[in-house]
Chains A and B, each alone.
Chain A
Amino acid sequence: MTSPQIEIQLIAVVVAIACAIPGVFLVLRKMALISDAISHSILPGIVIGFFITHDLNSPLLILLAALTGVITVILVEAIQKTGLVKEDTAIGLVFPVLFSIGVIMIAKNANDVHLDVDAVLLGELAFAPFDRLMMFGADVGPKSLWVMGVILIVIVLLLIMFYKELKVSTFDIGLSSALGFSPVILHYGLMSISSITVVGAFDAVGAILVVAFMIAPAATAYLLTSDLKKMLWLSICFGVISAISGYWLAHLLDASISGSMTTVLGILFLGTYLFAPNKGYFSVLYRHRQQRIEVSLLAFLLHLNNHTEENERHVNHLNEHINWQKVQSKTVLELAQKNNMIIINDDIVSLTEKGEDFTKLAIEYIITNKDDKIEHMKDDFFLFRG
């Protein structure tokens, strides 16, 4: 590995971590799309900042652009408060307008501004190592590494300082304001931090892909755990993994670094989405099937309990009566037999003692209608699940 390669990966890792931390809170607070809006609407701020400073990495530009991000949030909330449109419509109106203003500002001053909309939206990590920071006449490393490094340190410090406040206000706004933490201050604090992160990261990975770095690791982690601390660590891990492997994928394909980092994030998310235990697509599908069979079993047992006459309990009659498909009735019957709920003698189905106990409890459950009871009942009675 050459030194620029190491530097690029270092920048990518720092950006990934700096994005992942606020991203977790954005996802949990259902404000993921605000980050998308911010990432677009910082454009006019960047353009104005660029007029003044002529340097994409100057702190003033970052502050100005971050301010536009916060203004976006305020505007969205103001429009939403009028009640004329819903929140999502407000978001969808505000950011394209600000973005358009930015594009027009660039177009009108094309001669003075060496700034490209592509550059802002897409970024190019490969050029980052060429913009060096000189300090006391010595080369101390790429500028964007320093900028993102400072932002990351600030984020981590703030996270440690305000961890419990953030946690409380994310999960229970009422409680947090009752305890005296102003949710408004935390909200705007988080928004400012997100804006600053987006602005700091845009010239490395581009404004749109910052969104991926914020949301995707957090969403992937959210599918795997419901513990906030674990979620933070996991999303940082996912960010770092995709940053490094994305870089090498780009190297291999000779394509955009940020694009391939996002692609790796996408693959990670897709894998988790499909295969995550408990919350993944397949396990949800499996659980739905299981529950459907178990509900059928319950209905079947209750039906048996209601009919004492032998002819009502004949297999063929039941098949006709409950109107199930053959496959389904077979699985249900097998499950009931496996769990010792029924015995079949000469095609006559009858409940065992255990089955009777179960139906008694089940009726009670249906009468009281307390959903939490049924799962315990299933745990107590079922040796085999559906």
Chain B
Amino acid sequence: MTISEYFELLFTDYTLGTITLGTAVLGAICGMLGSFAVLRKQSLLGDAISHAALPGIAIAFLITGTKDTNILLLGALVSGLIGTFWIRGMTHKTHLKSDTALGLVLSLFFGFGMLLLTFIQKQPNANQAGLDKYLFGQAATLVKSDVELMIIVTGICLFVLLLFWKEFKILLFDADYTKTLGFNTKFIDILITFFIVLAIVLGLQTVGVVLMSAMLLAPAAAARQWTNKLSVMIFLAAIIGAFAGVFGTAISASQNNLSTGPVIVLVAAVFVAFSFVFSPSRGLLFRQIRFLKNRRDLELKKTLQFMYGIAKTHENISHPHAIRILNNFHGFTRKTLQKLEHNGWIEVSNQQWSLTNEGFIEAENLYNQLLEND
């Protein structure tokens, strides 16, 4: 399938269009709320909550007997919230650490969910098949009403985000200060956690319980590398999430036997890896380049300092010395000499160097922090 064929199909084929739109919206909302999860160091909350949602789905089905997505997701939301508050209770009230609390809620709720699911499967009710799509997610089962629900939730979420923007922001960076300003931190905290849980629950149908945490984290972790500004980060994360959704759907649609969820996660992971390496301010590549540059610079200064040590024992500071006497010194290379000469700090002529006046002053003030440096 060529790209133009794909685009043609995207607009003519109902299923592909719906799924692409759905994953894009899901990626965007996950990116937005995932930014908060990452910055609040609640990254693994997504993993725990997505697992904890399973018994809610099963119980909702047991009570109502229908497979209506909205009701099942409501059940997932309730049980996800119970899980979240239990995690908070555990870390506040006992000495169990947050990792243990997360792991407990994750595995215990999931186990209970499995018990219920297998129990349901044995029931004489023909309606029960298909509940396990929530385990691994099946983007192919997305229908228009699901996507509409996603768009509505994203809209509400965006509205609340804008409404409580400064509260969210200040709580994120300085919780104690927020409290002293008189904000109800508990309320803001619960509000943002609620929306994170909501995003997780929405994604269950598409990417499934297991991969939800990556869906939440990856766009935010990638966006974090490009900026230090919250608004830009959220915006970027939403875009990266949406792109991961669209690309992932496109790749999985173009091949047989490729489920959408894992592909989306892998695409998002590629974004993360790219950001880790190539981000200009934090990326590994540029960091390494800066590191090497600083090291060269430091060695250059060290050479200058060494020259200064020799020159100041002479009456005439510009007295020429043989380059050979620098040989014992590690910081010196032909290049550093050229650089020093280029800066006008030394002069080199026929295997001899001499410190210039400027170089002398520069070396003298090398460790003087009171002087303003360039």
- Interface residues, chain A, with chain B CB atoms under 8 Å away: 27, 30-33, 35-36, 40, 79, 82, 84-86, 88-89, 91-93, 96-97, 99-101, 103-104, 107-108, 110, 117-118, 121-122, 206, 208-209, 211-212, 215-216, 218-219, 222-223, 250, 253-256, 258-263, 265-266, 269, 273, 279-281, 284-285
Q: A36-B107, A93-B214 are in contact. Are A254 and B93 (CB under 8 A)?
A: no
Say yes or no: is B234 at the interface (Cβ < 8 Å to chain A).
no
Specify the main secondary structure of chain A where it touches its partner: helix
Contact of B225 (CB < 8 Å), options: A84, A118, A258, A263:
A84
Q: Is the CB of B218 within 8 A of A101?
A: no
Q: Is the CB of A269 within 8 A of B214?
A: no
Chain A residues near B104: list those with CB within 8 A: 32, 212, 215-216, 219, 269
A30 to chain B, nearest CB (A): 5
Chain A residues near B175: list those with CB within 8 A: none
Selecting from B41-49, B164-172, B307-315, B331-339, the interface stretch reads B41-49
Say yes or no: is B254 at the interface (Cβ < 8 Å to chain A).
no
The 10 tightest CB contacts between A and B, nearest first, are A262-B111, A96-B214, A259-B114, A212-B107, A259-B115, A100-B262, A256-B118, A266-B108, A32-B103, A255-B118
B216 to chain A, nearest CB (A): 8
Say yes or no: is B148 at the interface (Cβ < 8 Å to chain A).
no
CB<8 Å pairs between A and B, sample of 14:
A32-B97, A89-B217, A92-B213, A93-B221, A96-B265, A209-B110, A212-B107, A222-B96, A250-B115, A259-B113, A262-B112, A266-B109, A273-B90, A284-B93
Q: Is the CB of A97 within 8 A of B265?
A: yes
Specify the main secondary structure of chain B where it touches its partner: helix
Residue of A nearest to B262 (CB): A100
Q: Is the CB of A31 within 8 A of B94?
A: no
Cα of A96 to Cα of B203 in the assembled complex, Å: 14
Chain A residues near B344: list those with CB within 8 A: none
Contact of B115 (CB < 8 Å), options: A99, A208, A253:
A253
Q: Is the CB of B100 within 8 A of A258?
A: no
Cα of A103 to Cα of B136 in the assembled complex, Å: 10
Chain B residues near A32: list those with CB within 8 A: 97, 99-100, 102-104
Say yes or no: is B204 at the interface (Cβ < 8 Å to chain A).
no
Q: A32-B100, A222-B96, A223-B94 are in contact. Are A88 and B272 (CB under 8 A)?
A: no
Q: A33-B99, A281-B89 are in contact. Are A262 and B108 (CB under 8 A)?
A: yes
Residue of A nearest to B108 (CB): A266
Say yes or no: is B122 at the interface (Cβ < 8 Å to chain A).
yes
Chain B residues near A89: list those with CB within 8 A: 38, 43, 217, 221
B321-365 CB mask vs A (1 if < 8 Å, else 0) is 000000000000000000000000000000000000000000000
Given pairs A96-B214, A263-B111, 17 additional interface contacts (CB within 8 A): A84-B224, A85-B38, A85-B224, A88-B42, A93-B218, A99-B211, A100-B261, A100-B263, A100-B265, A121-B210, A206-B114, A254-B119, A255-B119, A263-B108, A269-B108, A280-B94, A285-B93
Contact of A208 (CB < 8 Å), options: B97, B99, B107:
B107
Q: Is the CB of B115 within 8 A of A96?
A: no
Residue of A nearest to B272 (CB): A93
Cα of A274 to Cα of B38 in the assembled complex, Å: 30
Contact of B118 (CB < 8 Å), options: A31, A86, A259:
A259
Cα of A2 to Cα of B261 in the assembled complex, Å: 42
Chain A residues near B224: list those with CB within 8 A: 84-85
A73 to chain B, nearest CB (A): 14
Q: Is the CB of A281 within 8 A of B93?
A: yes
Q: Is the CB of A103 within 8 A of B94?
A: no
Chain B stretch 96-153: residues in CB contact (< 8 A) with chain A: 96-97, 99-100, 102-104, 106-119, 122, 132, 135-136
Chain B stretch 56-111: residues in CB contact (< 8 A) with chain A: 89-90, 93-97, 99-100, 102-104, 106-111
Say yes or no: is B369 at the interface (Cβ < 8 Å to chain A).
no
Q: A104-B258, A254-B119, A281-B94 are in contact. Are A88 and B43 (CB under 8 A)?
A: yes
Q: Is the CB of A88 within 8 A of B218?
A: no
Say yes or no: is B243 at the interface (Cβ < 8 Å to chain A).
no
Chain A residues near B96: list those with CB within 8 A: 27, 219, 222-223
Q: Is the CB of A30 within 8 A of B99?
A: yes
Say yes or no: is B269 at the interface (Cβ < 8 Å to chain A).
yes
Say yes or no: is B12 at the interface (Cβ < 8 Å to chain A).
no
Chain B residues near A209: list those with CB within 8 A: 107, 110-111, 114
A112 to chain B, nearest CB (A): 12
Q: Is the CB of A262 within 8 A of B115?
A: yes
Chain B residues near A82: list those with CB within 8 A: 276, 284
Q: Is the CB of B94 within 8 A of A263?
A: no
B227 to chain A, nearest CB (A): 13
Q: Is the CB of B108 within 8 A of A99?
A: no
Say yes or no: is B230 at the interface (Cβ < 8 Å to chain A).
no
Chain B stretch 255-304: residues in CB contact (< 8 A) with chain A: 257-259, 261-263, 265-266, 269, 272, 276, 282, 284
B42, B119, B216: residue with the most chain A Cβ atoms closer than 10 Å: B119
Q: Is the CB of B266 within 8 A of A33?
A: no
B16 to chain A, nearest CB (A): 19
B106 to chain A, nearest CB (A): 6
B308 to chain A, nearest CB (A): 36
Contact of B210 (CB < 8 Å), options: A96, A253, A265:
A96
Cα of A265 to Cα of B103 in the assembled complex, Å: 13
Q: Is the CB of A100 within 8 A of B266?
A: yes
Contact of B119 (CB < 8 Å), options: A79, A118, A208, A253:
A253
Cα of A160 to Cα of B43 in the assembled complex, Å: 36
Cα of A84 to Cα of B273 in the assembled complex, Å: 11
Residue of B nearest to A272 (CB): B94
Chain B residues near A273: list those with CB within 8 A: 90, 94
Contact of A33 (CB < 8 Å), options: B102, B272, B276:
B102
Residue of B nearest to A281 (CB): B93
Q: Is the CB of B44 within 8 A of A91?
A: yes
Cα of A122 to Cα of B94 in the assembled complex, Å: 30
Residue of A nearest to B217 (CB): A92
Q: Is the CB of A93 within 8 A of B46?
A: no
Chain A residues near B106: list those with CB within 8 A: 36, 208, 211
Contact of A85 (CB < 8 Å), options: B107, B211, B221:
B221
Contact of A122 (CB < 8 Å), options: B47, B114, B122:
B114
Q: Is the CB of B257 within 8 A of A86?
A: no
Q: Is the CB of A36 within 8 A of B103?
A: yes
Residue of B nearest to A104 (CB): B262
Chain A residues near B108: list those with CB within 8 A: 212, 216, 262-263, 265-266, 269
Chain B residues near A91: list those with CB within 8 A: 43-44
Cα of A262 to Cα of B54 in the assembled complex, Å: 14
A379 to chain B, nearest CB (A): 23
Chain B residues near A223: list those with CB within 8 A: 94, 96
Chain B residues near A35: list those with CB within 8 A: 103
Cα of A290 to Cα of B115 in the assembled complex, Å: 41
